[in-house]
């Protein structure tokens, strides 16, 4: 399975959190790692002010022979191993967040939709994915990622880079 994962962090040493996450993705044959982008937290109305911490976001492209449910389980274990509090409220700050953005399969289960439901609406997910896998086709719109436009909003390219 060919897969694009989105990684984000807005707690602690964000860059180190991303590096640790990439290193923990040993079940993936990593092919490409995007640049790292910074953006404001995406928050619901009336969320606590202390949740408004900027994110570092990136994407990775890889292949795996694991089935979808195995991949999802491994991602959740990596998040927990790196310190993500699974009992924390949705939208709250997090050490690491790993989302399956797109794969060469379509999967819809209660806990994970592929492609990710909001993928095309989030510059911090789509732009890094376009950078590393522009030729992949999003099945919902039938276009290659490189041909999908999204305004970059407050997304800022950083000088950080993680080598795979």
Nearest CA among 26, 59, 82 for reference residue 155: 59
The active-site residue out of 99, 110, 147, 154 is 99
Continuous H helices in the chain: 14-24, 68-81, 123-133
Q: Is the peptide bond before 115 cis (omega within 30 degrees of 0)?
A: yes
- Residues 94, 104, 147, 154: which is the catalytic one? 94
Q: How far apart are CA 3 and CA 133, in angstroms?
A: 10
Catalytic, 97? Answer yes
Q: Is 26 a catalytic residue?
A: no
Active-site annotation holds for 94: yes
Q: What is the DSSP letter of 132?
A: H
DSSP string, 7-39: EEE-SSSHHHHHHHHHHH-TTSEEEEE---EEE
Catalytic residue, chosen from 2, 52, 84, 90, is 84
Active-site annotation holder among 67, 97, 104, 147: 97
Alpha-carbon torsion, ordered 156, 157, 163, 164, to 10 deg:
60
Residues recognised as catalytic: 84, 94, 97, 99
């Amino acid at each position: 399975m060919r897969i694009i994962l989105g990684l984000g962090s807005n707690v602690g040493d964000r860059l180190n959190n991303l590096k640790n996450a990439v290193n923990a993705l040993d079940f993936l044959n990593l092919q490409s790692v995007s640049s790292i982008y910074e953006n404001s937290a995406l928050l619901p109305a009336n969320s606590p002010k202390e949740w408004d911490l900027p994110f570092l976001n990136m994407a990775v492209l890889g292949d795996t022979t694991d089935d979808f449910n195995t991949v999802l389980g491994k991602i959740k274990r990596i998040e927990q191993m790196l310190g993500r509090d699974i009992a924390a409220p949705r939208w709250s700050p997090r050490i690491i967040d790993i989302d399956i953005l797109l794969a060469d399969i379509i999967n819809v289960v209660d806990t994970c939709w592929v492609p990710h439901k909001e993928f095309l609406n989030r510059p911090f997910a789509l732009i890094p994915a376009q950078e590393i896998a522009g030729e992949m086709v999003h099945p919902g719109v039938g276009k290659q990622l490189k041909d999908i436009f999204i305004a970059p909003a407050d997304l800022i390219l950083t000088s950080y880079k993680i080598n795979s």
